């Protein structure tokens, strides 16, 4: 892997949503890497997206977002972007073999078991017409809660928080903070982060939290591109016990 230039030319193209790209925005901001945050506007008819979808130069070989441009490299695919940033930033070289393995496991699990699971829930009734939210929501929450328990235990076992001060904020930290934060937004207080002490501590004390929160404040946006997301979240919460 080549070394990072002092001022690489970086552009991130994604929807005006948190989705698969917010953790990348966090990482670039927290690490002081200037980038162009190109956001494709969302609308019920997806007109801005449909106008570029077939343009491979803009949407990559699979016609999807995010796409990251780094100097002369074009990087589609979320996990490829995460791995590229981990390497080009020098973080991969700084960590030991076992730390890198854990980092890769963390990123993979956060992506599949949290980010995609949450996104699938938010889109449930659109993606699967006739989906029974009364059945889907509790089942998803049950799986998410069980997974959060395992994640909490893994971070303790890996001494993730204890070792954090001795390394820079890595891409997995950004993804972890984002998914924990998104869970709070989706379920409001119906999914208590306090039940997972290590995750709660990480979300509260993460060194870059002010950077993350500043971006959320400066550029508020939905979690996904699902039309009427706010109403969808309200419907999800209605299924769960009131607080």
In the Cβ-directed half-sphere of 243, how many Cα atoms lie within 13 Å? 7
* 123 Cβ contact list (under 8 Å, min separation 6): 224, 226
- Whichever of 19 and 222 has its CB closer to ligand GSH, that residue is 19
Pairing of strands 10-15, 73-76: unpaired
8 A C-beta contact, residue 199 and residue 182: no
CA distance 179 to 82: 15
How many residues touch ligand GSH under the rule CB under 6 A: the total is 7
Alpha-carbon dihedral 128, 144, 110, 112, rounded to 10 degrees: -30
Q: Which two tokens stand for residue 190?
A: 């119906």
Residue 226 touches ligand GSH, criterion: CB under 6 A? no
CB of 129 to ligand GSH, least distance (A): 17
Compare residues 41 and 90 and give the one whose CB is closer to ligand GSH: 41
Does residue number 65 form part of the binding site for ligand GSH (CB under 6 A)?
yes
Nearer to ligand GSH, 65 or 180 (CB): 65
Alpha-carbon gap, residue 29 to 10, rounded angstroms: 12
By CB under 6 A, name the one of 13, 18, 20, 25 that touches ligand GSH.
20
Of 8, 38, 52, 64, the residue at the interface with ligand GSH (CB under 6 A) is: 64
Please, are residues 66 and 81 in contact by the beta-carbon 8 Å criterion?
yes
Rounded to a whole number of angstroms, the minimum distance from the CB of residue 122 to ligand GSH is 11
Query: What is the footprint of ligand GSH within residues 78-107 (CB under 6 A)?
Result: 78
Residue nearest to ligand GSH (CB): 64
Contact string 22-61 vs ligand GSH (x = CB under 6 A): -------------------------------x--------
Of the two residues 64 and 237, which places its CB atom closer to ligand GSH in the complex?
A: 64
Q: How many CA atoms lie within 13 A of 81 on its CB side?
A: 27
Q: Which is nearer to ligand GSH, 125 or 145 (CB)?
A: 125
* Interface pick for ligand GSH out of 12, 13, 16, 19 (rule CB under 6 A): 19
Nearer to ligand GSH among residue 95 and residue 124 (C-beta): 124
Q: Is 222 exposed, middle or buried (0-12, 13-18, 19+ CB in 10 A)?
A: buried
236's enclosing H/E stretch is helix 229-239
Residues near ligand GSH (CB under 6 A) are 19-20, 53, 64-65, 77-78
């Amino acid at each position: 892997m080549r070394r990072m230039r002092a001022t690489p030319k970086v552009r991130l193209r994604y929807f005006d949503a948190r989705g698969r790209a917010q953790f990348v925005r966090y990482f670039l901001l927290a690490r002081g890497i200037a980038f162009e945050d190109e956001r494709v506007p969302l609308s019920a008819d997806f007109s801005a997206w449909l106008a570029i979808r077939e343009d491979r130069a803009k949407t990559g070989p699979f016609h999807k977002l995010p796409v990251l441009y780094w100097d002369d490299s074009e990087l589609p695919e979320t996990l490829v972007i995460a791995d590229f940033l981990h390497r080009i930033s020098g973080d991969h070289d700084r960590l030991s073999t076992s730390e890198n393995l854990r980092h890769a496991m963390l990123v993979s699990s956060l992506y599949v078991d949290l980010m995609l699971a949450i996104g699938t829930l938010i889109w449930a009734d659109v993606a699967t017409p006739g989906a029974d939210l009364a059945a889907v929501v509790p089942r998803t929450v049950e799986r998410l809660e069980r997974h959060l328990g395992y994640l909490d235990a893994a971070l303790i076992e890996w001494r993730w928080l204890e070792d954090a001060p001795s390394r820079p904020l890595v891409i997995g930290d950004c993804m972890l903070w984002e998914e924990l934060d998104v869970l709070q937004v989706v379920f409001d207080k119906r999914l208590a982060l306090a039940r997972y002490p290590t995750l709660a501590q990480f979300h509260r004390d993460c060194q870059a939290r002010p950077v993350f929160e500043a971006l959320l404040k400066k550029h508020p946006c939905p979690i996904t591109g699902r039309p009427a997301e706010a109403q969808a979240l309200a419907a999800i919460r209605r299924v769960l016990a009131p607080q």
